Amino acid sequence: MTFNLLAFSIGNTRTRMGTFVDGKLAGSLAISHADPDEFAAAVAEAHAPLSGRSDAVAVFGSVQPRITERLRRIVPEHTGLELLRVEEDLPIPIGRKLDREALVGDDRLLNAAAAYHTLKQSCIVVDAGTAMTVDLIDGEGTFHGGAILPGAQMMLDALGRQAAQLPDLEIARPDEAVGHNTNEAMLTGVFHALRGAVRELSEQYAEAAGHFPMIIATGGNADLLFSGWELVERIVPDLTLLGVAVTFQVSRSAADG
């Protein structure tokens, strides 16, 4: 099935935009929420390949209410496209085994839908963003939830803020496991803490599932944390956008009968 779609994933600190032309991802970009003046220009840039396509639609998922309102204002004004939201207008096509009162971010469900739609098998999705999530999807396409923990920069920021003698640092990949000064010690501590969490949680999930699921990583720090690590089999930067596309595609197929 071919479709033309402008997809948005609004995260905690940035929005990722993807352009799907004739059903394929033609390009993506990310804009920081700290740059509100650039937001409209980024939307226009993402929309450009869809200009003149009368069937194009814009669909978004969001975990940030303030930026949601910005998107609702800018997209119609700068693209003329109908703007739909996942879960409100289009159900995300993934089963759920969660507590009745559970509230799950759009991004986690979209990641799960994209991963299962592609793999058709149980998997673990690690989203290494502002916060880091490690979620389990079973072989029947059911999202079971998982774990939420501070992301890499959040950990470093907390250390710098709460410990008087520790500096403010930006996340970077450490050169080795033994930190020979304070900065190196902080970087290696955060790096291996997050990798250790993924390993421990994955082992626990595998024990519960009876087998070891494939691990997929996404998010702004996925490459920094997991590139070259044998435990993570795939790094897919645009996984959430692919989830938006899957959601739109499945909903349109159902509507067409």
Q: What's the CA gap between 216 and 29, in Å, rounded?
A: 20
Q: What's the CA gap between 9 and 15, in Å, rounded?
A: 6
Q: What's the CA gap between 245 and 236, in Å, rounded?
A: 14
107 noted as active-site residue: yes
Question: Between the CA atoms of 233, 197, 92 and 82, what dihedral angle is there, to the nearest 10 degrees?
Answer: -90
Are the C-beta atoms of 247 and 93 separated by less than 8 Å? yes
**Could you tell me the CA-to-CA distances from 91 to 43, 210, 249 in Å, in that order?**
24, 30, 11
> Which of the residues 35, 55, 99, 107 is marked catalytic?
107
**Secondary structure class of 18 (helix, strand, coil):** strand
User: Which residue carries 């501070």 as its tokens?
Assistant: 150
Which residues are part of the catalytic machinery? 107
